[in-house]
Structure 1
Amino acid sequence: MKILLCNPPARGPGCVISPALDIANLAGITKEQGHVPVIEDLFVRFKADVRSNRLFLDQIERHTKRAYGYIKGERPFLALDHYAEKIASMIRHDDFDLAGFTINSLQQFPYTKLLSALCISKKVKERAGAKVFLFGSFPQNYSKLMIESFDIIDYVLVQDDGLSFRDMLKKERHEKHEKTFCYREGNRTISPEGFNLGSLDDIPTPFFDKDVLKHYRHFGDVVLPYEVSRGCVNRCFFCYAPLKGMGVRHKSLDKAISDIKSMHNEYGISKFHFMDSEINFDKDYILSFCRRLIETGIKFKWTALAVSKNLSKEDIQTLRKAGCVQLRWGIESGSRKILATMDKNINIDESKNILKICSECGIKNHLSFIVGLPGETEKDMTDTMNFIKENKEYIDSANVCPYNVLNHITPLFFSDIDAYKKSLVSEDSMSRVSKARRLEDFMNEQGIFSLDIVDVVNDN
């Protein structure tokens, strides 16, 4: 079988200039299973075509209900159809058996990327007759909602490892398979019950298309994505992780080091960004991993998300020696009250100390903040500003997100698209956006700006 694996055009939070790891993982499995992967990264190809990319996504964002109806075949939308056709025509082949689309950007699940993927898949299906499947990291119950809402979708991969994909391929080959993915059977929707997670060591080394990597080189040295773990121990109420219901799983150290060395040898790349929810959930693991990286003798550079707790100066020095050039901290707020409300499980004073040590050790600090959380007062905003001002010499970059205004998909998206869009532009939502801009302006006044991961790794 020939299998298309596509990263559709997207913009907004989570859209870093780096290849999609979930595509690379599935490409590795496709090759392992004896099939042919065709990787198309329309995100990076259309990033260069600023006008077409902007106009295509503008149609989706400004006329979401029309786009929704167009995808479902309920109404025409000539402008969107024009740009969808233009984008789909860039795909190198049209004789696919299966066409898969990632619908995530890092940890984000925005409606714009889902609709972008569905617009392109509509054209691919018209031209090639391929069956369409979606994949990414999202709550399991959403897979059934997607299948039932859009006839164009044939399969949704539910688990975020190789089990679901392998079972889908078995079904296509008419072999016995487990129900680890979502699909239609007559008038019924078949979806998994519970979680059936395999070992992360069963995922082959990520496979990247070298022609696709050439497009990323227009933006500097390529920074490859990788992960040594999946899952999260925290229960932050604003995050998808608790809904996914998974604990933390790690790859074996031998597997992780083998993958990284293989990618370095195959692509000549030594720069990585780790996509784990937090790299230091298991401190013993990450320190052992760093020591193994050092033993390779290869001068790696990497960045990762981390939680600001339980890290000594010696620990941080080990991370730096292993090539860490930036850590991205979800500080979220400078208010102790708000941190307790969101069940963040970090201590402000400990966070300050860790930021200081990282800066002294040569690791750049990127901080993420969320504003507009329930119960947030002007004093809480002031506490956050004071935290930033007091620690600005240790903060190299930062970003601000308004709570609940990340355009994340919710069940309302599938049941009432009008109500969903109104929720994004409600008075409360606009107030949160205003707060975010205010905090962003304050950070800029302190000399703190947002930087892409790729820029940080390439500048070190």
Structure 2
Amino acid sequence: MGLELPPLGPAYLASSLEKAGIECRIFDFNSELYKNGGLPKLWNPENLAIWQKTQKFSKIKFSSEEVIASCARQVLEFAPDVIGMSVHNPSANFSIALAKAIKAQKNDAIIIMGGPICHPNLKIFPEMPETDYNIHEYADYLVVGEGEKTFIELLDAIAKGKNPAGCKGIMFRKGEKLVFTGNNIPIMNLDLLPFPDFSKFPIDNYRHYEQKSLILPIMLSRGCTNHCVFCTDTNAWFPYRFRSSKSVIDEIKSDIEQYGCTAFEFNDSLINGNPKLLSDVCEEIIREKLQISWSGSARADSTISKELLEKMKKAGCNTLYFGIESGSQNVLDDMRKNINIRKVPRILKWASELGISVGTSWTIDFPTETEEDFKKTVKFVQDNHKYINHFSVQLLFINHLSEVEKNFRKYKIVPYQQDWDFWRIEDDSNTFEVRKRRLRILNEEIQKNFDYARIIK
């Protein structure tokens, strides 16, 4: 969970702040606690709920007053004028505890939170909090959406004593009212952003993870060209935008020179959202003779040709991840995936034969999935496992503000409002118990067919 490489968002914020003449320091407590906390198993994917569920989090070592207070002291030793936190679902409980501890040690500290869970909450149910985890109660301001421009504008307003209501893209408390100033304007020309600054991160922590060499994140684009109904990437990063190939190549060269890094992971929702850009970047890597390796996520659609995969391999692509989700075309259509399941196997085969490691993700029990649909997924795995090196299987998580959540009645979902994990379908054809059974069956099928020798080459 965020251990393999430094986070890209805070690195972009750091470089943007420095460009604006604002000194900053970065604390990656996720990495520090993993390295020094003595409980690495808590970072295994199956333990995600321990961090996300407030009651479970309260019982682990890293929620203790001693640990949290120590982290707060580290932050305050810097004597910052403002403290920013990048908050995701897995880190929300820790961030809230840290904010409380900082306020306890310095009650006039100004705390700004940003990240995916910072958004104006559209209440689907009256019982919902005003914001996810009610994080607005623990921060002075929330930055909604892209932070590079908004964060700096807010800091300028705070420094000059201006009314923050003039800054688009923030939320703050005014008396009993929670104020949202409206959506900020997306950064359309991504080439104008300074390259992310990783020099402020504990780089050696990432070298000490499972890989032997440093891997740095990089991006071609922001947003997604698709509108899957269970996902929120399109909403969070609307509209889809991309960089120039020159900007990407210049950043790769800079990272090689500054950090000695020759391995990269593209953090895009999909690297083939603009196939011409992907092709151009590969051509430039080849032309410049950059000896690098890289990975990324792609859609298994018509933009992926054998010729493009050959070019990607020659340019250093060693791993591709495909979000296939289901072996049933009906389910894929309901998900609005816009991929043809009959054409997916040849893409996996092409990549595998070229020596590109193939990862796939599968989502069990979309609301419209029937037993027959599920059997098609199992059959797909049986037929194509020889082309796949990595499987990621998960139960459907109903993301807040996704189309599935907003239109839950259309999908005949009966929510369990205390915990979305326990939603069911009106006729009980899809319940938590059904989902767990199908998850077990698919995992058993994967284990039965999976050849580990293909990983240990």
TM-score normalised per structure 1: 0.81
Structure 1 residue 96 and structure 2 residue 80: aligned?
Answer: yes
Instruction: Trace 1:236-251 onto structure 2 (pairs within 5 A).
Output: 236-244=228-236, 246-251=238-243
Which deviates more from structure 2 when the two are superposed, residues 159-168 or residues 333-342? 159-168
Which deviates more from structure 2 when the two are superposed, residues 312-321 or residues 209-218? 209-218
**Aligned positions, number:** 419
Counterpart CA distance in 2 for 1:398 and 1:237 is 22
**Structure 1 position 188, deviation (Å):** 4.2
Which amino acid in 2 is paired with 1:26?
L
Counterpart secondary structure, 1:367: strand
Cα offsets for 1:343-380 (capped at 9, x unmatched): 11001122111111111111111000000111212221
Instruction: Trace 1:41-440 onto structure 2 (pairs within 5 A).
Output: 41-48=28-35, 49-51=37-39, 54=42, 63-64=54-55, 80-89=64-73, 91=75, 93-104=77-88, 110=89, 112-128=90-106, 129-138=108-117, 140-142=119-121, 145=131, 150-174=136-160, 178-198=167-187, 199-209=189-199, 212-219=202-209, 220-244=212-236, 246-310=238-302, 311-404=304-397, 420-425=417-422, 428-440=431-443
Counterpart CA distance in 2 for 1:362 and 1:214 is 29
Which amino acid in 1 is paired with 2:384?
N
Counterpart CA distance in 2 for 1:321 and 1:66 is 45
Which deviates more from structure 2 when the two are superposed, residues 117-126 or residues 77-86? 77-86
Cα offsets for 1:260-293 (capped at 9, x unmatched): 2112211110111101111001111110111122
Counterpart CA distance in 1 for 2:23 and 2:144 is 22
**Structure 1 position 22, deviation (Å):** 0.6
- The equivalent of 2:408 in structure 1 is none
Which deviates more from structure 2 when the two are superposed, residues 23-32 or residues 150-159? 150-159
Q: Structure 2 stretches of 5 or more lacking a match?
A: 123-129, 406-414, 425-430
Cα offsets for 1:201-241 (capped at 9, x unmatched): 22211111366111111113121111110011211111012
Counterpart secondary structure, 1:346: coil
Counterpart CA distance in 2 for 1:419 and 1:336 is 29
Counterpart secondary structure, 2:101: helix
Which amino acid in 1 is paired with 2:285?
L
Instruction: Answer whether contact 1:392 1:446 (CA < 8 A) is retained.
Output: yes
**Structure 1 position 313, deviation (Å):** 1.3
Counterpart secondary structure, 1:327: strand
Of the candidates 20, 25, 33, which is equivalent to residue 33 of structure 1? 20
Instruction: Answer whether contact 1:397 1:448 (CA < 8 A) is retained.
Output: no
TM-score normalised per structure 2: 0.82
Which deviates more from structure 2 when the two are superposed, residues 327-336 or residues 289-298? 289-298
Counterpart secondary structure, 2:307: helix
Counterpart CA distance in 2 for 1:175 and 1:255 is 37
Counterpart CA distance in 1 for 2:237 and 2:263 is 31
Which structure has more relative contact order (CA 8 Å, sep 6+)? It is 1
Instruction: Answer whether contact 1:23 1:102 (CA < 8 A) is retained.
Output: yes
Counterpart CA distance in 1 for 2:217 and 2:280 is 20
